Protein backbone atom coordinates (compact mmCIF):
# COMPACT_ATOMS: atom_id res chain seq x y z
CA UNK A 1 0.00 0.00 0.00
CA UNK A 2 1.27 3.46 -0.91
CA UNK A 3 1.45 5.54 2.26
CA UNK A 4 0.94 9.30 2.31
CA UNK A 5 4.60 10.15 2.95
CA UNK A 6 5.77 8.02 0.02
CA UNK A 7 3.05 9.52 -2.14
CA UNK A 8 4.28 13.03 -1.28
CA UNK A 9 7.86 12.00 -2.00
CA UNK A 10 6.82 10.80 -5.48
CA UNK A 11 5.14 14.15 -6.15
CA UNK A 12 8.28 15.94 -4.91
CA UNK A 13 10.44 13.87 -7.28
CA UNK A 14 8.14 14.74 -10.19
CA UNK A 15 8.30 18.43 -9.25
CA UNK A 16 12.10 18.33 -9.33
CA UNK A 17 11.97 16.73 -12.81
CA UNK A 18 9.57 19.46 -13.89
CA UNK A 19 12.24 22.02 -12.94
CA UNK A 20 15.05 20.23 -14.82
CA UNK A 21 16.01 22.26 -17.92
CA UNK A 22 17.67 19.17 -19.47
CA UNK A 23 14.24 17.58 -19.90
CA UNK A 24 12.45 18.60 -23.11
CA UNK A 25 9.55 20.99 -22.71
CA UNK A 26 6.96 18.60 -24.12
CA UNK A 27 7.99 16.01 -21.52
CA UNK A 28 7.84 18.57 -18.70
CA UNK A 29 4.28 19.40 -19.79
CA UNK A 30 3.31 15.73 -19.37
CA UNK A 31 5.12 15.56 -16.03
CA UNK A 32 3.17 18.62 -14.88
CA UNK A 33 -0.06 16.90 -15.98
CA UNK A 34 0.84 13.82 -13.91
CA UNK A 35 1.60 16.07 -10.93
CA UNK A 36 -1.75 17.84 -11.28
CA UNK A 37 -3.56 14.50 -11.44
CA UNK A 38 -1.84 13.27 -8.28
CA UNK A 39 -2.39 16.52 -6.38
CA UNK A 40 -6.07 16.76 -7.30
CA UNK A 41 -8.13 16.79 -4.10
CA UNK A 42 -11.09 15.17 -5.84
CA UNK A 43 -11.33 11.50 -6.67
CA UNK A 44 -10.03 8.27 -5.29
CA UNK A 45 -6.33 7.62 -4.91
CA UNK A 46 -6.51 4.50 -7.12
CA UNK A 47 -7.99 6.46 -10.02
CA UNK A 48 -5.46 9.28 -9.66
CA UNK A 49 -2.60 6.80 -9.58
CA UNK A 50 -3.90 4.96 -12.66
CA UNK A 51 -4.26 8.20 -14.63
CA UNK A 52 -0.81 9.40 -13.63
CA UNK A 53 0.68 6.00 -14.53
CA UNK A 54 -0.77 6.42 -18.00
CA UNK A 55 0.92 9.82 -18.36
CA UNK A 56 4.23 8.57 -16.98
CA UNK A 57 4.15 5.56 -19.30
CA UNK A 58 3.75 7.91 -22.26
CA UNK A 59 6.65 10.02 -20.99
CA UNK A 60 8.98 7.03 -20.60
CA UNK A 61 8.48 6.14 -24.27
CA UNK A 62 9.48 9.59 -25.55
CA UNK A 63 12.63 9.20 -27.70
CA UNK A 64 13.92 12.66 -26.68
CA UNK A 65 13.96 11.79 -22.98
CA UNK A 66 17.42 11.64 -21.38
CA UNK A 67 18.25 8.09 -20.25
CA UNK A 68 18.69 9.03 -16.59
CA UNK A 69 15.26 10.69 -16.59
CA UNK A 70 13.72 7.61 -18.18
CA UNK A 71 15.13 5.53 -15.32
CA UNK A 72 13.73 7.99 -12.77
CA UNK A 73 10.31 7.77 -14.43
CA UNK A 74 10.34 3.96 -14.39
CA UNK A 75 11.35 4.00 -10.71
CA UNK A 76 8.40 6.27 -9.89
CA UNK A 77 6.08 4.11 -12.00
CA UNK A 78 7.20 1.07 -10.05
CA UNK A 79 6.57 2.83 -6.75
CA UNK A 80 3.11 3.98 -7.83
CA UNK A 81 2.24 0.48 -9.04
CA UNK A 82 3.01 -0.90 -5.59
CA UNK A 83 -0.07 0.89 -4.27
- Tally of domains within the chain: 1
Residue 70 lies in a domain: yes
pLDDT at 62 > cutoff 70:
yes
- Is 82 contained in some domain? no
Can you give the pLDDT at residue 45?
85
The secondary structure of the chain as a DSSP string is ---HHHHHHHHHHHHHHHT-TTS-HHHHHHHHHHHHHHH-SSS-HHHHHHHHHHHHHHHHT-TTS-HHHHHHHHHHHHHHHT-
In a domain, 18, yes or no: yes
Q: Is there a domain that residue 49 lies in?
A: yes
* Residue 83 counted as domain residue: no
List the CATH number of the domain containing 11.
1.20.1440.50
Q: Looking at the predicted structure, is the pLDDT value of residue 1 above 80?
A: no
Range(s) of the domain holding residue 48: 4-77
Question: What is the reported pTM?
Answer: 0.88
Amino acid sequence: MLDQSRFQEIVKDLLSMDDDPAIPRNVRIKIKKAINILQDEQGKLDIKVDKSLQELGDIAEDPNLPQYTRMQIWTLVSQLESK
